[in-house]
């Protein structure tokens, strides 16, 4: 099972805090909590504050209630009181980056810029990944233009979409686009393909449809940071599945291979797939197969992708 990324864990932490208090088995529901949840969702801060104060008095280790008390107090402009609540939230288990971000907002609102910047730097180092929230915060507006704020903003953006900033993850961008595909020899129509970046620019998704048949398929291409290589997983509507792996060569060619895969006739087939950029609007895709452990290669297909105008 793949381990969750820091960004995924951050999203889970935030979701847990924003979920109703009674949704956790460790947090039994009650009249005060139900009323507090309703007031919080309605942003009725004047009603929410005393309710959460009552909850935290009875349950001083309730991190979620402390966090929501901080949000509610801040909503009333009670920044100093909100700081105390956020500090309690962190002490009792709220993710550091969440508490640090909210504390930064409060200190910025109080005019303590340096303290706010220190906390923002810590928050982004610990996984805060919402640059839009940073930009839209009225309290943080006093920090706009500050070099340290812009650096923290960039760090949050990189945490949110790490693949958008990783050079290796952008190596296959030359294949992204809408394409009409023909045979390289003869220029006969072969199909069409839409290649797009998805999942935070971490995946190059191919959507293939053959010309004149019902055959279609998709490939998922991503840079494997652990193995330091590109991988493609091809699947289609005929129960086909192929796993390629390789790298971008110095000449700009995306070079893929497969392992030797057993075939119905008893042979083992190894494939070699190349994506050759021929300028900004043309890519050649060539596939060869070998049944003798790579000693000789036979052509499978040779296509040219022409960018759709």
Q: What is the pLDDT of residue 23?
A: 40
Any bridge partners for residue 205, and if so which? 196, 220
Does residue 15 have a pLDDT over 60? no
User: Are 119 and 161 part of one and the same domain?
Assistant: yes
SS3 251: coil
How many other CB atoms are there within 10 angstroms of residue 289's CB atom? Answer: 17
Which of 165, 182, 209 is the endpoint of a domain? 165
Separation in Å, CA 284 to CA 36, 50, 137, 179, 252: 61, 67, 48, 11, 12
Q: What is the pLDDT of residue 265?
A: 87
Separation in Å, CA 296 to CA 230, 269, 289: 24, 11, 8
User: Are 197 and 250 part of one and the same domain?
Assistant: yes
Does residue 22 have a pLDDT over 50? no
User: Are 184 and 86 part of one and the same domain?
Assistant: no
Which of 129, 144, 165 is the endpoint of a domain? 165
β 261-262/189-198 pair status: unpaired
C-alpha span between 155 and 161 (Å, rounded): 10
For residues 232 and 26, the model is more confident at 232
Does residue 98 have a pLDDT over 70? yes
Q: What is the pLDDT of residue 309?
A: 87
CA Rg, the chain, in Å?
A: 27
For residue 15, report the phi and psi dihedrals to the nearest 5 degrees: -60, -40
pTM above 0.85, yes or no: no
Does residue 60 have a pLDDT over 80? yes
pLDDT, mean of residues 64-70: 97
The answer to whether 231 touches 251, Cβ cutoff 8 Å, is no
- Looking at residue 23, the DSSP 8-state letter turns out to be G
Residue 137 in any domain: the answer is: yes
Residue-wise pLDDT for 264-308, tens only, equals: 889 999 999 999 999 999 999 999 999 999 999 999 999 999 999
For the ranges 2-16, 24-38, 134-148, 244-258, the lowest mean pLDDT is seen at 2-16
Residue 27 in any domain: the answer is: yes
Mean residue pLDDT across the chain: 92
Separation in Å, CA 152 to CA 33, 60, 107: 35, 32, 16
User: How many degrees, rounded to 5, is the angle at CA 217 between CA 202 and CA 256?
Assistant: 55
Does residue 123 have a pLDDT over 90? yes
User: Are 116 and 187 part of one and the same domain?
Assistant: no
User: Are 148 and 190 part of one and the same domain?
Assistant: no
Q: What is the pLDDT of residue 10?
A: 52
pLDDT, mean of residues 91-110: 97
Does residue 3 have a pLDDT over 80? no
SS3 129: coil
The answer to whether 52 touches 76, Cβ cutoff 8 Å, is no
Q: What is the pLDDT of residue 2?
A: 41
User: Are 20 and 142 part of one and the same domain?
Assistant: yes
SS3 230: strand
The answer to whether 49 touches 69, Cβ cutoff 8 Å, is yes
User: Are 55 and 181 part of one and the same domain?
Assistant: no
Residue 45's pLDDT band (boundaries 50, 70, 90)?
Answer: very high
User: Are 14 and 131 part of one and the same domain?
Assistant: yes
User: Are 30 and 54 part of one and the same domain?
Assistant: yes
SS3 44: coil
- Looking at residue 76, the DSSP 8-state letter turns out to be T
C-alpha span between 258 and 204 (Å, rounded): 18
The alpha carbon torsion through 229, 234, 240, 245 (nearest 10 deg) reads -10
Residue 30's pLDDT band (boundaries 50, 70, 90)?
Answer: low
Q: What is the pLDDT of residue 25?
A: 35
């Amino acid at each position: 099972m793949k381990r969750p990324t820091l960004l995924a864990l951050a999203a889970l932490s935030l979701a847990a805090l924003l979920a109703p208090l009674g949704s956790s088995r460790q947090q039994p529901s009650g009249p005060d909590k139900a009323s507090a949840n309703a007031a919080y969702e309605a942003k009725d801060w004047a009603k929410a504050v005393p309710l959460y104060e009552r909850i935290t008095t009875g349950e001083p280790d309730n991190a979620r209630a402390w966090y929501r008390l901080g949000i509610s107090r801040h909503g009333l402009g009670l920044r100093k009181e909100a700081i105390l609540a956020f500090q309690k939230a962190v002490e009792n288990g709220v993710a550091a980056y969440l508490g640090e971000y909210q504390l930064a907002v409060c200190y910025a609102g109080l005019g303590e810029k340096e303290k706010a910047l220190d906390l923002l730097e810590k928050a982004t180092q610990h996984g805060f990944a919402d640059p839009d929230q940073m930009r839209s915060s009225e309290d943080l507006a006093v920090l706009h233009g500050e070099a340290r704020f812009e650096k923290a903003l960039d760090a949050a953006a990189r945490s949110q979409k790490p693949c958008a900033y990783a050079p290796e993850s952008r190596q296959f961008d030359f294949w992204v686009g809408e394409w009409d595909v023909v045979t390289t020899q003869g220029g006969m129509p072969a199909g069409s393909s839409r290649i797009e970046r998805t999942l935070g620019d971490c995946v190059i998704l191919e959507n293939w449809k053959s010309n004149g048949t019902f055959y279609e398929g998709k490939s998922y291409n991503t840079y494997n940071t652990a193995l330091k290589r590109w991988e493609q997983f091809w699947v289609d509507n005929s129960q086909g599945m192929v796993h390629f792996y390789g790298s971008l060569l110095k000449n700009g060619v995306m070079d893929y291979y497969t392992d030797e895969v057993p075939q119905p006739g008893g042979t083992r087939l190894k494939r070699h797939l190349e994506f050759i950029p021929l300028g900004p609007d043309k890519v050649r895709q060539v596939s060869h197969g070998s049944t003798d452990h790579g000693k000789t290669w036979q052509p499978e297909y040779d296509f040219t992708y022409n960018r759709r105008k």
